[in-house]
Structure 1
Amino acid sequence: MTAPAEETDRAAFARQWAEWHTAHERVLAAPHGFLAITSLRWLDATPTRFPDAPGAWSTTEEGVVVELDDGEELALDGQALRGRHVFGVIPERDGLFPTAGDAVVEVAKRGGHDILRPRHPDNDLLRDFTGTPAYDPDPRWVRTGRFLPFDAPRPTTVGAVVEGLQHVYDAPGEVEFELDGTTHRLTAFNGRAPGSLLVLFTDATSGVTTYAANRSLSLAAPDADGRVLVDFNRAANLPCAYTDLATCPLPPAGNRLPVAVEAGEKTPTSPTHAAPALP
């Protein structure tokens, strides 16, 4: 007997969602992904050594500097780094990833502060990761929305999961859509791909079945008529849902939905690290 078209479509929908979720988990659990981070260090002018990275690290007018002792070595872009090395001034939300043996030492800037985040593939958090729970995919949570561009991108300051830290993003516009007959609008940021969008939000499930601080939704670029596909089944956790060693942004003011979006990823196992406070 041939399956009804609706059942076939739902099976294909579920399969496509499972492929997306598997790919998302694979990135998270990569050998040098966020689950491999062993510490978060806020650098200052004093050269300081840390147990999970070689060298003494500081931030100066030249940018981030490491001073490596005899026998210590890093590698970056195929070149060995020895002695004193200046990484230069790192742009906001950018980073470099020199290696030290089987580890990666992330050197980055977040909220105007230079940070160090070593990543070790044998980290307990990565080793013990068993996956992220999620709601069963359901087509009812897929909406066709509209992108409403601002006249010019609006610099938007948001908080972070690290107390005292702020992030500033250019918001190109808002995404409008309907849920259960009610129209909602959410501020959108630029996504990774050209023209794509990223929405950070919370809803009535936040802190109940989903991570309290935020979830993210990646949207493909709007079509010529401004239409965008809003699929809440692909609402994903940010790294801060898994580790306290992340600096994830909080949603913009107004990006809290009053409805329970029972779709997408749920709260994972509680983080096992405690991040140092912002100096």
Structure 2
Amino acid sequence: MTTIQEIDPTAFTQQWEEWSTTHARVLADPHGFLAITGLHWLDPQPTRFEDAPGAWSTSDEGVVVDLDEGEQLTLDGVTITGRHSFGVIAERASIYPATGDAVIEVAKRGGHDIIRPRHPENALRTAFTGTPAYRPDPKWAVTGHYLPFETPRPTTVGAAVEGLQHVYDSPGQIEFQLDGAVHRLTAFNGREPGSLLVLFTDATSGVTTYAANRSLAVAAPDDEGTVLLDFNRAANLPCAYTDLATCPLPPAENRLPVAIEAGQKIPLERLAD
């Protein structure tokens, strides 16, 4: 595992800038989170929404859309007309049928079926210029130790949407030292096999960084359980930019009492509120 003394500051900054550019590009994708125009909760009553074609409903058999004559969606190259069932959608899964230059995300979050239309011309996306951040500093690249649980522990956390809850399996915790104090963070599974994801707040939250949460991707532990917590890459979740996201909140034990003056700051969009 690389130590602070072994880090090349120039390469470190360049790699961070590449990470930051990639993060911004994903966020501002034509069908990314900044393109969302509505968060619509479905129920058994077919309902129309101004930013999506059709009347949408849900039941034990899954999500259904009823499209009028002249309305259509496209999914996997197949044109959908009339009445169409998307079936039962798994928790945290999404389907993206297209309509014109937009897509209609059909998803389940916190046990509830939703649709979230994504329109590239949404003002939040077209006005996006990037996210403020602390300058990268190798001192915030901290070595930690992964402490796996014998079996994954279901962990219930709150959400950016009031009253909603998410349940994730936590494979273990990460222990690390900062300014002489020992801290432990509950980790969730990351995107890559073996990798981890940490949700946290700290003493900067609500001051210079987004109040509700930040996330940190952690590469898979090595054979000795060593991991690198590079807080310079602490990233905002979509809820930092839009109220139309259902992002999870950190577990209580992940609310750090220290100030992590690294990573992304409060988005300009929130400062303008």
TM-score, reference length from structure 2: 0.96
1:11 aligns to what?
10
Q: Contact 1:166–1:249 at 8 Å: present in 2 too?
A: yes
Q: Distance in 1 between matches of 2:99 and 2:112?
A: 23
1:89 aligns to what?
88
Q: Report the AA paired with residue 203 of structure 1.
A: D
1:159 aligns to what?
158
Q: Distance in 2 between matches of 1:271 and 1:122?
A: 20
Q: Contact 1:232–1:264 at 8 Å: present in 2 too?
A: yes
1:32 aligns to what?
31
2:21 aligns to what?
22
2:243 aligns to what?
244
Q: Report the AA paired with residue 205 of structure 1.
A: T
In structure 1, the residue corresponding to 2:152 is in which secondary structure?
Answer: strand
1:70 aligns to what?
69
Query: CA offsets per residue over residues 206-240 of structure 1, 9 Å max, x none?
Result: 00000000000000111111111110000000000
Where do 4+ consecutive residues of structure 1 move more than 6 Å?
Answer: none
Q: Contact 2:176–2:182 at 8 Å: present in 1 too?
A: yes
In structure 2, the residue corresponding to 1:254 is in which secondary structure?
Answer: helix
Q: Cα 1:13–1:41, aligned 2, differ >3 Å: closer, same or farther? A: same
Query: CA offsets per residue over residues 129-186 of structure 1, 9 Å max, x none?
Result: 1110000000000011110001110000000010000000000000011111111100
Q: Report the AA paired with residue 230 of structure 2.
A: D
1:228 aligns to what?
227
In structure 2, the residue corresponding to 1:198 is in which secondary structure?
Answer: strand
Q: Cα 1:215–1:115, aligned 2, differ >3 Å: closer, same or farther? A: same
In structure 2, the residue corresponding to 1:58 is in which secondary structure?
Answer: strand
1:3 aligns to what?
none
**Pairs within 5 Å for 1:115-154:** 115-154=114-153
Q: Contact 1:160–1:167 at 8 Å: present in 2 too?
A: yes
1:47 aligns to what?
46
In structure 1, the residue corresponding to 2:43 is in which secondary structure?
Answer: coil
1:172 aligns to what?
171
In structure 2, the residue corresponding to 1:152 is in which secondary structure?
Answer: strand
In structure 2, the residue corresponding to 1:16 is in which secondary structure?
Answer: helix
Residue 41 (structure 1) shift: 0.2
Q: Distance in 1 between matches of 2:7 and 2:200?
A: 32
Residue 71 (structure 1) shift: 0.6
Residue 7 (structure 1) shift: 12
1:181 aligns to what?
180
TM-score, reference length from structure 1: 0.94
Residue 16 (structure 1) shift: 0.4
Q: Contact 2:146–2:172 at 8 Å: present in 1 too?
A: yes
Q: Report the AA paired with residue 162 of structure 1.
A: V
Query: CA offsets per residue over residues 113-137 of structure 1, 9 Å max, x none?
Result: 0001000000000011111000000
1:192 aligns to what?
191
Residue 11 (structure 1) shift: 1.1
Q: Distance in 2 between matches of 1:60 and 1:186?
A: 38
In structure 2, the residue corresponding to 1:257 is in which secondary structure?
Answer: coil
Unaligned runs of 5+ in 2: none
Q: Contact 2:216–2:235 at 8 Å: present in 1 too?
A: yes
Residue 8 (structure 1) shift: 9.1
Unaligned runs of 5+ in 1: 1-5, 275-279
Q: Contact 1:244–1:271 at 8 Å: present in 2 too?
A: no
Query: CA offsets per residue over residues 12-66 of structure 1, 9 Å max, x none?
Result: 1100000000000100000000000000000000000011000000001210000
Q: Report the AA paired with residue 169 of structure 1.
A: Y
Q: Contact 2:64–2:84 at 8 Å: present in 1 too?
A: yes
Q: Contact 1:45–1:60 at 8 Å: present in 2 too?
A: yes
Residue 269 (structure 1) shift: 2.3
2:99 aligns to what?
100
